[in-house]
Amino acid sequence: MTKTCPIALTVCADPRFARLVRMSASNVGLLSSMSVERVEDIRMAAEEAFIYACAVQPSAPVAISFEVDDEHLTMAFTLEASTFPEPDEGDPTAAYADLILASVCDSFEKQEGPAALILTLKADV
């Protein structure tokens, strides 16, 4: 597969759906040239991004788009909110998610208008 294959999923921001998001991301990752270890990274990144979205905007729809080809997977988690709230010192969710996503992904960014988490993981084989 050399062409980018767009795939979309919309899920209610409810932690009960984290497994659905994680498994969908894993299956999409298998469309690329990813090792088993890299697919595990994809699963972890997808779950962390989704749980973070659940904390930002509970029960709202989260639009998740996947773009995959032989060399990479990009996931975008788009919220209805226009921006991400300022981190709450009593809740380490955002800081923890930022740490995990920055360490697992080759590229991780937060966009605004609407708020979105954009994650890119490159194939390793």
Q: What is the per-residue pLDDT across 95-107, written as a single tens digit (0 to 9) for each?
A: 888 899 999 999 9
pLDDT score for 33: 78
Torsions phi, psi for 81 (to 5 deg): -65, 150
Q: What is the pTM of this model?
A: 0.91
Q: Total structural domains in the chain? A: 1
Assign residue 23 the CATH number of its domain: 3.30.565.10
| Structural domain boundaries enclosing 32 | 5-122
Report the mean per-residue pLDDT for the chain. Answer: 90
Model confidence at 91: pLDDT above 80: no
CA-wise closest residue to 31 among 49, 50, 5? 5
Give the side-chain half-sphere CA count within 13 A for 91. 10
Q: For residues 120 and 125, what is the distance between their CA atoms, to the nearest angstrom?
A: 16
Confidence of residue 47 (pLDDT cuts 50, 70, 90): very high
Model confidence at 125: pLDDT above 80: no
